[in-house]
Structure 1
Amino acid sequence: MTTTLTASADVVDTPAHRDGNVWRWLAAYTASMMGDSVYYIALSWAAVQAGTPAQAGVVMSVSALPRAVLMLGGGVIADRFGPRRVVIASDAVRCAAVLAVAGLLFLTGPGLWPLAVLALVFGVVDAVFMPAVGALPARVTTRGQLARVQGMRGLGIRFASVVGGPLGGLAVAVGGASAAFAFAGLLIAVSVPLLVSVRIREVPAAGRDEETAARRGTAWRDLVDGLGYIRRHPVLGPLMVAIALGDLGFVGPLNVGLALLAEERGWGASGMGWVLAGFGVGAGAASLALAVRGRVPHAGQVMAYACLSGAIAIGALAFVPSVVAAVGVALLVGLLAGLSGAMCGALLQTQADPAFLGRVTAVSSLVSLGFAPLGMPLSAAAIGAWGTAPVFVVSAAVCGLGGVIALCVRGLRGAELPG
């Protein structure tokens, strides 16, 4: 089922955006992400129909705990069994679970327990799925094309979020939650045969010394080795800290903070929507530029300066006088955040030893999706106490601190992407 590639000339010389193998991987990834978008819309709608708003909120949050608790273990599984195999199995389980709930809702009507169980299953599977997804690009292309692949992946994420939401809403309007769940399951199912057709490269585990290989035994030992590897690495260790600070300072203002800012300025929901659209366009433009250009010289410095400039733009967002100006600033935030995020992803992919890539991705995912969202309730409470401007400025300072660290650490500042 798996076709293994060696370092042949056609693999080395083919740009990622002209490689059919990369496009099959991207199509699979995008279909899975679209399925996720439709799934979350169906889950929220069904939960609201089956219970109170408070109960619906509990159902929507059930996935978060197992995803955060099990994420590091998911990285160990991805490294032990191979990312493609783990992604295929994860998508198959998610597809089966969603289709089972779709059938149950069609036969019996909405209920909170099936929805809560589905959310729990998704959280557990996501803990394995996400590290494997992050480790897979290094197996479908060469190191020199990984920056371009990060740009293509960013475009896939933007496309899935823009298209998946309306499709999910349409499915709910036409056939209710059961139809939307069925549609989500079919979208996820599309990814499985595409992934089966993707050719996988054997990536040498360079850098793993004999002592580490001899110690490998239990999953716990693998996890400890992975965390120690990140801590000792001259680029990955400080890069994780920079990612954590950048996400922590970014998530609050661009989620809860933006809604409160729009209410305070009288922009309304439509104004907030336009600001979010500006951010999306900017992030998409950064992904497109990276997908076309490929390698970016001085990647560590570019990431650091993009993070610093983006932080300044985040702080400025609280002081713009009109929604039109806010859209322009949000476009700049999206462009800079998209660039710095893509550089972080590319550096993670190229700097990490392939034998540890699942665990490296697990740590970065945990930082971004487990810890950073904790800033949202803190931002909301702080805005209630002191207003939007001070909180946006403090958040910008936290975000900018990630760029400062990147510039101060020699290994990260001088990090380059392979040519």
Structure 2
Amino acid sequence: MLATQTGAADTTAVERPAHRDPNVLRWLGGYTASAVGDNVYYLALSWAALQIATPTLAGLVTALSAAPRALLMLGGGVVADRYGPRRVVLGSTGVRALLVALAAGLLLVTSPGLWALAAVAVVFGVVDAVFLPAAGALPARIAGPGQFARVHGMRGLAVRLANVVGGPLGGLGVALGGTAGAFGLAALLIGVSLPLLLAVRVRPLPPDDTPAKRRPVLAELRDGLRHIRRDPVLRPLILAIALADLGFVGPMNLGLTVLAQQRGWGSTGMGWVLAGFGTGAAAASLLLAWRGRIPRAGRVAGLAGLAGAVAIGALGQVPSVAGAAGVALLIGLSAGLAGALSGALVQSRAGAAYVGRVTSVSTLVGFGVAPLTFPLVGWAVDQWGTGPVFAACAAVCGLGALVTLGATGLRRAELPR
């Protein structure tokens, strides 16, 4: 009973396959509800901004969350390691739900200006800077090392489900209750994750990984960066992940929208391309959730990343919707496999005491820096067209894959059994 109350997992639970472990399934349910709520929130925010501002300003408001994430996420990793990822996830989830509920209430009683929506976006980004590293670190504390790949596959399926379900739910919320209704639905979904996450138990830190005393934040951050720099697998792995995210986010978000406009595919055609990508990514996640472990994980991640880079370059040259959907399926399959394996390797190499800080560094570019490159991607498309921009981004992704294959320790890295 005491172990359940304090959140410590027993030794028998961690030996179960992740997809049969009630503790992991509670985490998965909470994570999925929170992810769906996030999707509904971003749709509600963009919709509310579009009612009072131009598309350019509305886009700026929705992108504001990325700036505090980029600035504060490394500190969020320190917080996750200092106080424990479960505690930080619970606290930040509660704040996020309350913030979105307050936004819903504000929209019910008044018509807020753009500045109010911008303030919501910024505060949400600040809380996200703490939430994201802790959420990324939590799987390493609820499952045994041999289950990391399966857990990341399950997490990938949750993300795909949230992306598919979040948009329609957000649209339904707007249709039934306006923007206030959509914000209220997002707050409800994020709030629903709290009791599930509260029931999740975490394994205690091994004695050797428990810090002897609390140190200043900057000192703990330097310790985490030093830990990454000294590890022959983590050092190139973090660089490879950063390059992959930097090359991937621009073309598969803003770049794809521009490509659909220039090719005359329309929103329906773009939807088919996104469906192809989502199908491929879901298949990769399902493979990992089913297999649980992929031999030669480092080598497979590098080869999959290289295949994904080639496919991204090809996407900028495909004229038809059907061809683009097929290429996008390959991108989702290869990038999804490479990303999940890389995430599992990060979890297995980080060490329980450093997992929050290592996770914050590994996700910094994808969640904080890469979204800030959208204006640069748009300017480059105006200057040189979609084909050269997709090729340049593909080269950046390919460079990340070459880092993975070129670093001996990373190329030979294996996931725990």
Q: Same fold (TM over 0.5)?
A: yes
Does residue 171 in structure 1 map to residue 173 in structure 2? yes
> What corresponds to 1:411 in structure 2?
409
Deviation of 1:206 (Å): 4.5
Paired residue type of 1:11: V
Residues 296-316 of structure 1: CA deviation (Å, up to 9, x unaligned): 000000000001111111112
- Given that residues 41 and 186 in structure 2 are in contact (C-alpha distance below 8 angstroms), is that contact kept between their aligned partners in structure 1? yes
Deviation of 1:180 (Å): 1.1
- Given that residues 249 and 366 in structure 2 are in contact (C-alpha distance below 8 angstroms), is that contact kept between their aligned partners in structure 1? no
- Given that residues 66 and 369 in structure 2 are in contact (C-alpha distance below 8 angstroms), is that contact kept between their aligned partners in structure 1? no
> What corresponds to 2:383 in structure 1?
385
> What corresponds to 1:79 in structure 2?
81
SS of the residue corresponding to residue 51 of structure 2 reads helix
RMSD: 1.7
SS of the residue corresponding to residue 308 of structure 1 reads helix
1:11 to 10, 14, 19: 14
CA separation in 1, counterparts of 2:392 and 2:63? Answer: 27
Deviation of 1:390 (Å): 2.1
> What corresponds to 1:29 in structure 2?
31
Change in CA separation of 1:259 and 1:60 when aligned onto 2, cut-off 3 Å: closer
1:132 to 121, 129, 134: 134
Deviation of 1:2 (Å): 2.5
- Given that residues 295 and 417 in structure 1 are in contact (C-alpha distance below 8 angstroms), is that contact kept between their aligned partners in structure 2? yes
CA separation in 2, counterparts of 1:181 and 1:321? Answer: 38
CA separation in 2, counterparts of 1:401 and 1:309? Answer: 12
CA separation in 1, counterparts of 2:61 and 2:394? Answer: 32
> What corresponds to 2:267 in structure 1?
269
Deviation of 1:214 (Å): 6.2
Residues 182-230 of structure 1: CA deviation (Å, up to 9, x unaligned): 111111111111111112111326568xxxx568511111011111111
Change in CA separation of 1:100 and 1:371 when aligned onto 2, cut-off 3 Å: closer
Does residue 65 in structure 1 map to residue 67 in structure 2? yes
1:304 to 295, 302, 305: 302
Instruction: Point out the more displaced range, 24-33 or 42-51.
Output: 42-51
1:326 to 324, 327, 335: 324
SS of the residue corresponding to residue 250 of structure 2 reads helix
Change in CA separation of 1:375 and 1:104 when aligned onto 2, cut-off 3 Å: closer
Residues 110-148 of structure 1: CA deviation (Å, up to 9, x unaligned): 433432332222111000000000000011111110100
CA separation in 2, counterparts of 1:267 and 1:180? Answer: 29
Ranges in structure 2 where 5+ consecutive residues have no aligned partner: none
- Given that residues 50 and 110 in structure 1 are in contact (C-alpha distance below 8 angstroms), is that contact kept between their aligned partners in structure 2? no
Change in CA separation of 1:326 and 1:52 when aligned onto 2, cut-off 3 Å: closer
CA separation in 1, counterparts of 2:71 and 2:7? Answer: 34
SS of the residue corresponding to residue 294 of structure 2 reads coil
CA separation in 1, counterparts of 2:292 and 2:107? Answer: 46
Give structure 1 regions of 4+ aligned residues with deviation exceeding 6 angstroms.
Answer: none
> What corresponds to 1:338 in structure 2?
336
> What corresponds to 1:144 in structure 2?
146
2:186 to 184, 187, 197: 184
Change in CA separation of 1:58 and 1:323 when aligned onto 2, cut-off 3 Å: closer
- Given that residues 70 and 365 in structure 2 are in contact (C-alpha distance below 8 angstroms), is that contact kept between their aligned partners in structure 1? no
**Aligned residue runs from structure 1 range 282-293, under 5 A:** 282-293=280-291
Residues 258-299 of structure 1: CA deviation (Å, up to 9, x unaligned): 222223322222212211110011001100111011010000
Paired residue type of 1:5: A
Paired residue type of 1:303: A
Deviation of 1:382 (Å): 2.3
CA separation in 2, counterparts of 1:197 and 1:215? Answer: 28
Does residue 2 in structure 1 map to residue 10 in structure 2? no
Does residue 249 in structure 1 map to residue 247 in structure 2? yes
TM-score normalised by the chain length of structure 2: 0.95
CA separation in 1, counterparts of 2:42 and 2:374? Answer: 19
Deviation of 1:159 (Å): 0.5
Deviation of 1:60 (Å): 2.1
- Given that residues 155 and 288 in structure 1 are in contact (C-alpha distance below 8 angstroms), is that contact kept between their aligned partners in structure 2? yes
Paired residue type of 1:178: A
> What corresponds to 1:89 in structure 2?
91
CA separation in 2, counterparts of 1:108 and 1:321? Answer: 47
CA separation in 2, counterparts of 1:410 and 1:236? Answer: 12
Instruction: Point out the more displaced range, 378-387 or 306-315.
Output: 378-387
Ranges in structure 1 where 5+ consecutive residues have no aligned partner: none
SS of the residue corresponding to residue 45 of structure 2 reads helix
% same residue = 62
> What corresponds to 2:102 in structure 1?
100
> What corresponds to 1:116 in structure 2?
118
TM-score normalised by the chain length of structure 1: 0.94
CA separation in 2, counterparts of 1:42 and 1:124? Answer: 19
